[in-house]
Structures are given as structure tokens and as C-alpha cells.
Structure 1
Amino acid sequence: MEKKWLAKKAIPAAESSLMASKSILKQYYLDGIAVKATTLRSSIMDEVNKDADTPLKDLLPEIDSVLNYAEKLEAGQEIASLERVLASLDTCIKIQDATLSYTSDKLESDVSFDIGSYELSERGISALDESFLRKILSDKEGYKDQYPDSVITVRIKVVGYTDQVGFKNRKLIAELTRGAEDEVPGDKLGRRQFLNQRLSELRAKAISQYLRQRILSSERGGSQVNVEEDVVGKGETMPPGIIPSNYTNDPQRRVCKIYSTISYMAK
């Protein structure tokens, strides 16, 4: 009899405790995680509005997932669970780390490549080493120290642009069309745009491969670092933030934009 009485008392108490726990989780999600996600989204959108090429925009769907869950919690359409709270918190922390390690730069093709070439010049290599690579390597080592049991991933994105000038160098034309001879348009404008598109891709690729090689060569023994590359050629497209001019050979258009972020994952 006494056991039944205790059970009647214990069950409501347990239910009340569970409801209180869920209420605390919900409030923590709304007041802590959702606020953090909102702040992160705002800072990322600032970067996206300044530069449409930024890879930070790829983080927006994850942030929106956190915020959508917060909206459903507030509307009573979802019940807070510890698993979801921890997962969302982890998402926010990783996104914040990615924004803190975010690096961007712009290389002028006239400095970084010799005329009629898509191989990095000595000046281009020096510019990469000084203005970009040094910070990536420093951030990478910092992440390895902070997350010793994780695999560190450095993501490199390079976007290449060209001017609107045609090609006279037969050797370069042959190199740009090699393996794609059947794809070259027959008209003069289409041919020029095709060649500039290929040139922008190959210059972006040259930068990305150099950075990848330098990052991996800085590792010793059992490496815990991966490098992911995203190479984009935009040819004669006007780079974001550049005021259009009537000059077909405007040097402001001959650029390669470079970005990097760093993330980690438990082994």
C-alpha cells in the first residue's frame, strides 16, 4: 500500500521535474543559442553584402536551421531536447570559429602572373606568402593546439577574373584550348570570352594548388590536416566591388580573389 502511495507521489514529481528541465532547455536555446546564431548571421551577411564571392555564405543554411528550430520552439511546435540543444550549440561554435579564422585577399594578376601566363610569378608567390599564407599557417597551428584530438580542415576558395582583351599569343591560345578544341566558339566575341574564362580558371587553380602544397608540406609525420579546394573562374565577369569602366583592359578586373576558413572534426 505504501509503495503505491509513493509511486503516486513520485510520478507527478518526475513529470514536473521533466517539464521544468525542458522549460530550462527551451529558454537556454532561445536566450543563448538563438541570440548567438542571430549575431553570427548578421556578421556573415555583412561580408556577403560586401563581397558576393565569399564562402561564408555557405554557412547560412546551418545558421538558418538553428534559427528555424528556435522559431518552432517559441511557437510551441517543438519540444526542446538536450540532443538538439547540444547539436545547435556545436554548430554555432564551429561557425564562429570559421568566421574568426576567415581570411580573404585579392591578388592583382599583373603582379602575380607574367604576361600571357597562368603560372605564378616570383612576385605572386611572395605576395601570397606574405599577405595570405602566413595567417593560414598560424591559424592552422592554433587550431591543432586547441583541438588536438580533431582533424583540421583548411578550405581554400579562389575566384579568378580577367579583362575583356583578346589573345594574340598563339602558344597561350593553344594551351588554353588544349583538350577543348571542339568547345571553342567560332565567332570572335565568343572565342575571346571562352579563352578568358579558361585563363581565369587556370590562374585560380595555380594559386589554389600552391597554397595546398604549402599547407600540407608544413605538416610532419601523421598529418591531422586536410585541405579542400574550390576553384572558380569567372572570366570577363565584373568582380564585386569594382566600378564598371569603359576600358576593356581595366587592370582592376584582372584579379584573383582568395579566401580560407578552418574547421575541425573529432577523429
Structure 2
Amino acid sequence: MERERTGLFISDDEFSVYVYKKLKSKGMKVYPISFTPCSFVKPRIFQLGDIGDILGYLKKEGIKKLVFVGKVPAEAILGKVHPSSDIFFKGEEPLCGENILKNLADFLKKEDIDVMSLTDVLYDELAEEKLYTDIPLQISEKRDIETGVRFIRNIMKYRAGQSVVVKRGMIVAVEGIEGTDEMIRRAGRYCSDFVVVKMAGRYKDERFDMPVIGPHTIEVLSEAGGSAIAVESGRTIILNSSKIVSLCNKNRITLIGIKGE
């Protein structure tokens, strides 16, 4: 029996490496595709907006399912795109990587190519509502998490960042186009012992860009001086959870899964 052919949209990051290896370990025949080069595998690279080339490749290879784990880089969104890019940028939704991929997925659906939900593909990696580490939350950290949750709920409709840094009730940094790790580094230039809150929110399409933390996130948080990270249960993906918990305990960082909306 021929192995299932699955297209995997990737970028050069920890999450893409993890999912690529996981799908391969399940015996799937994986076809990596991307808008940018990657160091861990050689993907088929497309120019953002070249819908004809993308569709032609998928049909030629007989790919009926796609998994999106990569990000659309900022320079691809804001820079020069292919002349046939209308399908990517249509509609009145805010311009962001998620909406670009959603438009692409809607188009591919009409061509009988389905985009799989990340929560289905990575069910075992979804955060639970619990305290993961040996280090309990301080009262001040609990209050800061509550502040962060309220803030994210208010901004998610604008497709702004999935993460926020809070200390003593003050919003220190909000994730922008640079991503979570750079937001944490930026916050660390102003303070230490801060809290990171990471959520998907009600508007998040589970096929694209779900909140993710991996060992590298914890390493960055430790270097920046953060003391706790709270992630939305059921909608945040935790990569290599045993390694993450070990890193958190070693660096005195609290990791907790919290209830979302």
C-alpha cells in the first residue's frame, strides 16, 4: 500500500522540525514546501502569491492533504509578491500570515485539497489545564496572568500577537511581527521576573499558526530573566514537554496551563 502523501508547509524553526520528524515517524510521505529556504530539509520553495505554481505542484505530486506549521515571513507579506497574488490578499480581514494562509486554504479546498487542523495532527502535544512545574505561582504572578489574559482577549480580534509580557499589572511588551522569542528578549531589556501569557483566542483558525512553545522558548525566557509562562490549555502546542518541564524547573520558571475562552 502506498504511503499517504502529505504536503507540509514549513519555515526554518523548531516547530517545523518537530512536526516534519513526527509525520515521517508515522510513515507518511512528506512533501515539504515553503516560502523561504530551510536548514533542516530542502523544501520546494514558492514565491508568495504564485497560486498557479503551488496548485500545479500539489496536483502533480498527488497531494490531497496539507499541514501548515510554517509562518509567512514579514518580508514576504510586506515586500514584493507575485503578480497573481490577489487570492492571498482578498477580503477585508486584517493583513497577517494567518489570513493569507486561510485564503490559500479556501482556494485549495475547491480543488479537493484539504488543510488539516493542527490540534488534530498534534493532539498529544496540546497543553493541559494544570501546573507543569515544581515551582508554584506567586500571588503577584497570578494577578499578572489574569491581566495578560484580559488584554489578549481584547486585542485578538485585530489578529495582533498571541503573547504578552506583564509585570506588576503593567503591559511590558506585546508580540508583534517579530514573534514570541524576540518579544521576550525585548521585555528583558526593561525588567526581570516578568510573566508571559500566550493564548490562541476565539478568533484563531486551528489550521494555522497555533500558539507553540518549545525548549528554545524556555531558554530565551531564562536568558531574559522571566519567571513564569502561562499557556492556553487545549489550544497551545507544547513541544517536547518533558524537556520543557525539566528546563523550567532547572531555571526556576513556572509553567502553567490555563483555561481559555
Same fold by TM-score, threshold 0.5 exceeded?
Answer: no
Give the TM-score of the pair, scaled to structure 2. 0.29
Give the TM-score of the pair, scaled to structure 1. 0.28
Higher helix share: 1
Which structure: larger Rg? 1
Q: Give the number of the structure with larger relative contact order, counting CA–CA contacts within 8 Å between residues 6 or more apart.
A: 1
